[in-house]
Amino acid sequence: MNFPTKLTVFRLSFSPLVFPALLYCFLSDTYMLGNIVLALIFLAIGFTDFLDGYYARAYNQVSFLGSFLDPLADKFLVFSSLIALVALHKVCFYTAIILIGREFYVMGLRELALSLSYNLPVIWSAKVKTFLQIIYITVVILNIQTFSFLLFRLICAVATMLVSCYSAFLYSRQLYTYYINQK
């Protein structure tokens, strides 16, 4: 097990088990320092996604296990955080449904692609989507209640949902194009 895979395993185990509990216990409407600490923890966990991929490519340590676990760890991080934030009434239920539903939709497309003997490659907009999700969740965790920050939070939510849906559309189009070209 190489260093990038260890980072992924850390993110995979910490995200669904520890971080939602931290959010549930410590996210506050009044204690800003605690929210900043939670936001920094979340950013650090999210940064391991970039770090493990960079390190694996830069030092030629890409592994089958790491390639398999990395997208799972990303989904666990986002899903568990969104669910905890919905439970705390910090994220709208429909926002979480759109973001999580998109992930299941793309997983279904990947399964369909594999049944057609096609490996659906990761697209650039999906990486932007992950980045925006991490920024959006961080902004929610900060929980600043000023008008300008709430407006910024709304813009982050809309941008995240739009890029998420757009990347799902691009995956659909990519698979459709492959299917049509095979006929």
pLDDT digits (tens, 9 = 90+) for 9-52: 999 999 888 899 999 999 998 899 999 999 999 999 999 989 99
**Percent helix, percent strand, percent coil in the chain, to nearest 5:** 85, 0, 15
On the 0-12 / 13-18 / 19+ scale of CB atoms within 10 A, 100 is middle
- Residue 127 pLDDT: 92
Both tokens of residue 152? 């910024």
